Structure 1
Amino acid sequence: MMGIRVKKDDQVVVIAGKDKGTKGRVLRVIREEDRVIVEGVNRVKRHTKPTPKNPSGGIIEKEAAIHISNVMLVDAKTDKPTRVRFAEKDGKKVRVAVKSGAAID
């Protein structure tokens, strides 16, 4: 099984689509569909009925999922998008930024 390159709370940049160039934090990873939900990216409007939690109902704006191939991890060292590879460090599998060589985990 292939290791997951993007995890929850990672800082990513969108590399394709209407929000190209936008940086955001990963809120959720949906592994079965190879999708991620990124804070402030791919915002959609949903018309909702009144509920006990939201008594007024109305139109709410929330983030929709985008394909994982459309985001790249931001390298903490250079603050630029980078690919991710895996390396073994102290017997553990860790994610490594290809651009700087810095360990992510």
Structure 2
Amino acid sequence: MKIKKGDQVQVLTGKDRGAQGNVVSVDIAKNKVLVEGVNIAKRHTKPTQADQQGGIVEKIMPLDVSNVAVLCPKTGEPGRVGYRIEGKNKIRFHKASGEELP
């Protein structure tokens, strides 16, 4: 998977299309990512021992990896990620601009 935790991404499809945020977590087995502030669902919870209050809780729901694109750190444009090997180092880069990704 070419998207990592901490990457700045833009949502390409769905109700939050165009929204940008940081990747909170990545699930490699399911090809899903959690993006901060995007695809938020409201869950109604009953009071429990752990949560005395209960009520309506906002929860970040996962997005498929194919529905997000990494933003270039230089230009801010969404695009794909590539890899190149320089010596013994494997470097991630933004394919559209050629800019290295952290």
> Structure 1 length as normaliser, TM-score?
0.91
**Distance in 1 of aligned mates of 2:87 and 2:49:** 51
Structure 1: distance between partners of 2:82 and 2:89: 14
**Of the candidates 7, 29, 38, which is equivalent to residue 32 of structure 1?**
29
Q: Which runs of 5+ in 2 are unaligned?
A: none
User: For 1:33, what is the secondary structure of its paired residue?
Assistant: coil
For 2:43 and 2:87, locate their aligned partners in 1 and report how far apart those are by CA, in whole Å: 47
Structure 1: runs of 5 or more not aligned: none
1:44 aligned residue (31, 41, 45): 41
Give the percent of matched residue pairs that are identical in Structure 1 and Structure 2: 42
Q: Which moves more between the two structures, 21-30 or 40-49?
A: 40-49
* CA–CA distance in structure 1, aligned partners of residues 89 and 54 of structure 2: 48
* TM-score, length-scaled by structure 2: 0.93
What corresponds to 1:96 in structure 2?
93
For residues 18-67 of structure 1, give each alpha carbon's deviation from its aligned partner in whole angstroms, at most 9, with x where no partner exists: 10000011001011010001011111011112234431011101110010
State the SS of the aligned residue for 2:22: strand
Is 1:6 aligned to residue 20 of structure 2?
no
Q: How far, CA to CA, are the matches of 2:50 and 2:3 in structure 1?
A: 32
Q: Secondary structure at the match of 1:41?
A: coil
1:56 equivalent to 2:64? Answer no
Moved segments of 4+, more than 2 Å: 51-54
Among 79, 82, 87, the residue aligned to 2:84: 87
Residue 74 of structure 1 pairs with residue 62 of structure 2:
no
Of the structure 1 ranges 71-80 and 46-55, higher mean CA displacement relative to structure 2 is found in 46-55
What is the CA RMSD across the aligned residues, in angstroms? Answer: 1.1
